[in-house]
């Protein structure tokens, strides 16, 4: 039983004893005392005024006196208006630290055979371009969310849907046929996804020039787009692909294989993975079949041009295109097919889509359409909607080639970490391969943390240099603190000052140490809250607060030089427990922590 639960139970008993009224634990509002006041936990007494029929101060006084007399964990109290600030007895914090230090996988809930299954979709790349900064946020959020939900006792399946078909894919293919001269990743020395991305940009360049030429002859933009030969060829290629044209399908398979090879390299760099990958080239046919079933059952309707639509006016939305006039499918059709396949493959209890907030309407519609088609899971899907990533100079545009490439970004972060380590000279005595591993961990960790510490629902501006600062709310600051603690523990072992497994409850303890144990005690609740709110940022900022508090403690108190063995053991055990929680919390963000730095 936690200290909060113990005191809450005592308050429930006290209210009954003092005022003859039954209350429940849910009515008790205990919160951490604000730093400017003395105490550890604060009780809001306003809900009890009708029971006591007294002023807030009198009510707080009576409850405080009762607790000091009847609950050993409460040492003393003070009152600020309607708030009762309780100071917890020192022995409780030592007892709690003992419990934390010996609890395996502290803060997390084990997964069992009976655990519900959550499927999380993230990444969702297109095979016409490499992964960029926007994908970086998506992948880091998706992977971290999977780890957090797993830590809350759920089975998790991490899945990816690859957008490997459609007009945008045909644009890259057409550009390669026209201007590629047989170029391959092997002949060019380029990653396959980078190579194909260049042809996507090249198509857009030629297409824009064609529109410009047509408009110079007096056509409107709309007329020019309708007469574009490039776009006409791309649409024809898509129709031929869907009809199974052997040459087009063979080219499509070849170029996609180049891209997949490139993606896999990037995913490995990122430190993310998937349990199952779906491809739209497989799922769109399932989606078309479901849409046509909907037409047959009167759920959807055809227009005169043979296109298929869903009328969503009763749902206070507009009409939604499901199949084009030429029979080709759209994104929503593919998502219907993907959803059906997934629920056929797995006994999913909850489906979470990690997709940017520009797709809010799309997933609102998808939920309605799945429900109309009779799928029980339609109403319960979760769109984990996150904000966009921008650069200090503005938005990115794939067609114009103004994106920040994921591979380049990761390489830049690792190089920055390397330069900083060389300047500080802290890794000079290590072997080159160990140095490279550390700078990889720090560079990538700084990138992940900088992105994940922001509320996922907010837009964010990414600044590479700011993200790797060794001071402030950064991943490298947290990693450095972890490495510092591990260094202290190594030195303790060298001096045969082994970290004790359990402390006597009589050991003297300072307010700073009490604060650190109180922060440690909050970790399980933070993990639960992060899972319920789908917010890795809660974990990130909790770990930063813990690390910031520890660094102040480290500055003010001696550990290895402490002459009192009980105090030294307390600080060693406290440091060890904090290192464990740092590693656990950062692991939930997908961030490694180095033993040395």
**Could you tell me which of 502, 500, 504 has the C-alpha nearest to residue 91?**
504
**For 463-480, what is each residue's pLDDT tens digit?**
776 777 767 899 999 999
pLDDT above 90: percentage of residues in the chain: 85
Q: What is the mean pLDDT of the chain?
A: 93
Instruction: Give the CB-side neighbour count of residue 503, counting CA atoms within 13 A.
Output: 29
Q: Are 19 and 13 in contact (CB under 8 A)?
A: no
So what's the pLDDT on residue 463? 75
Confidence bin at 379 (pLDDT 50/70/90): confident
Residue 191, Cβ density class (10 Å: 0-12 exposed, 13-18 middle, ≥19 buried): buried
Confidence bin at 428 (pLDDT 50/70/90): confident
Confidence bin at 597 (pLDDT 50/70/90): confident
What lies within 8 Å, CB to CB, of 171 at 6+ separation is 128, 200, 203, 204, 207, 234
What lies within 8 Å, CB to CB, of 393 at 6+ separation is none
Going from the C-alpha of 153 to that of each of 112, 113, 118, 149, 591, the distances in angstroms are 7, 10, 10, 7, 20
So what's the pLDDT on residue 470? 67
So what's the pLDDT on residue 500? 72
For 134, list phi and psi in degrees, rounded to 5: -60, -40
- As a whole number of angstroms, the distance between CA 42 and CA 48 comes to 14
**For 27-64, what is each residue's pLDDT tens digit?**
999 999 998 999 999 999 999 999 999 999 999 999 99
Confidence bin at 396 (pLDDT 50/70/90): very low
All structural domains of the chain, each given as residue ranges with its CATH number in brackets, are 3-88 (3.30.1360.70), 122-390 (3.40.50.620), 406-588 (1.10.730.10)
So what's the pLDDT on residue 388? 87
**For 6-25, what is each residue's pLDDT tens digit?**
999 999 999 999 999 999 99
The mean pLDDT of 204-233, rounded to a whole number, is: 96
Q: Are 313 and 301 in contact (CB under 8 A)?
A: no
Confidence bin at 362 (pLDDT 50/70/90): very high
């Amino acid at each position: 039983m936690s200290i909060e639960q113990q005191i809450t139970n005592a308050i429930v008993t006290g209210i009954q004893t003092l005022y003859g009224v039954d209350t429940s634990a849910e009515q008790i509002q205990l919160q951490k005392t604000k730093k400017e006041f003395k105490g550890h936990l604060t009780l809001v007494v306003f809900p009890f005024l009708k029971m006591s029929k007294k002023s807030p101060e009198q009510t707080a006084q009576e409850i405080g006196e009762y607790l000091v007399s009847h609950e050993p964990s409460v040492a003393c109290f003070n009152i600020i208006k309607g708030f009762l600030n309780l100071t917890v007895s020192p022995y409780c914090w030592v007892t709690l630290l003992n419990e934390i230090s010996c609890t395996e996988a502290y803060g997390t809930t084990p997964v069992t055979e009976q655990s519900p299954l959550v499927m999380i979709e993230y990444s969702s790349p297109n095979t016409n371009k490499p992964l960029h900064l926007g994908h970086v946020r998506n992948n880091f959020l998706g992977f971290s969310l999977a780890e957090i939900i797993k830590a809350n006792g759920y089975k998790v399946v991490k899945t990816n849907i690859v957008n490997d078909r459609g007009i945008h894919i045909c644009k890259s293919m057409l550009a390669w046929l026209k201007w590629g001269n047989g170029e391959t990743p092997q002949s060019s020395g380029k990653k396959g996804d980078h190579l194909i991305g260049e042809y996507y940009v090249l198509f857009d360049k030629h297409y824009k020039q064609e529109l410009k030429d047509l408009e110079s002859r007096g056509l409107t933009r709309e007329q020019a787009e309708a007469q574009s030969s490039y776009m006409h060829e791309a649409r024809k290629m898509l129709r031929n692909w869907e009809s199974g044209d052997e040459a087009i399908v063979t080219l499509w398979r070849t170029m996609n294989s180049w891209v997949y090879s490139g993606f896999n390299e990037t995913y490995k760099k990122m430190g993310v993975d998937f349990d199952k990958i779906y491809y739209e080239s497989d799922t769109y046919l399932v989606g078309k079949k479901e849409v046509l079933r909907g037409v047959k059952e009167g759920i959807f309707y055809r227009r005169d041009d043979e296109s298929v639509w869903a009328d969503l006016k009763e749902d206070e939305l507009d009409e939604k295109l499901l199949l084009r006039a030429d029979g080709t499918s759209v994104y929503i059709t593919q998502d219907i097919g993907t959803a059906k396949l997934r629920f056929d493959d797995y006994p999913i209890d909850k489906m979470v889509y990690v997709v940017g907030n520009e797709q809010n309407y799309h997933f609102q519609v998808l939920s309605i359409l799945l429900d109309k088609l009779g799928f029980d899971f339609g109403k319960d899907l979760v769109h984990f909607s996150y904000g966009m990533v921008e650069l200090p100079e503005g938005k990115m545009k794939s067609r114009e080639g103004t994106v920040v490439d994921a591979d380049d970004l990761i390489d830049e972060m690792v190089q920055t970490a390397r330069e900083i380590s060389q300047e500080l000279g802290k890794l000079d005595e290590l072997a080159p391969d160990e140095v490279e591993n550390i700078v990889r961990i720090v560079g990538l960790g700084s990138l992940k943390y900088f992105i994940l510490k922001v509320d996922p629902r907010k837009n964010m501006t990414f600044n590479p240099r700011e993200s790797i600062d060794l001071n402030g709310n950064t991943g490298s600051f947290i990693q450095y603190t972890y490495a510092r603690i591990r260094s202290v523990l190594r030195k303790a072992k060298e001096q045969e000052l082994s970290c004790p497994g359990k402390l006597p409850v009589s050991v003297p303890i300072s307010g700073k140490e009490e604060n650190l144990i109180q922060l440690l005690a909050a970790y399980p609740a933070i993990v639960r809250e992060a899972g319920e709110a789908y917010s890795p940022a809660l974990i990130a900022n909790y770990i930063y607060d813990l690390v910031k508090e520890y660094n102040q403690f480290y500055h003010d108190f001696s550990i290895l030089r402490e002459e009192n063995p009980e105090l030294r053991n307390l600080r060693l055990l406290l440091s060890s427990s904090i290192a464990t929680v740092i590693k656990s919390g950062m692991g939930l963000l997908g961030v490694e922590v180095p033993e040395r730095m």
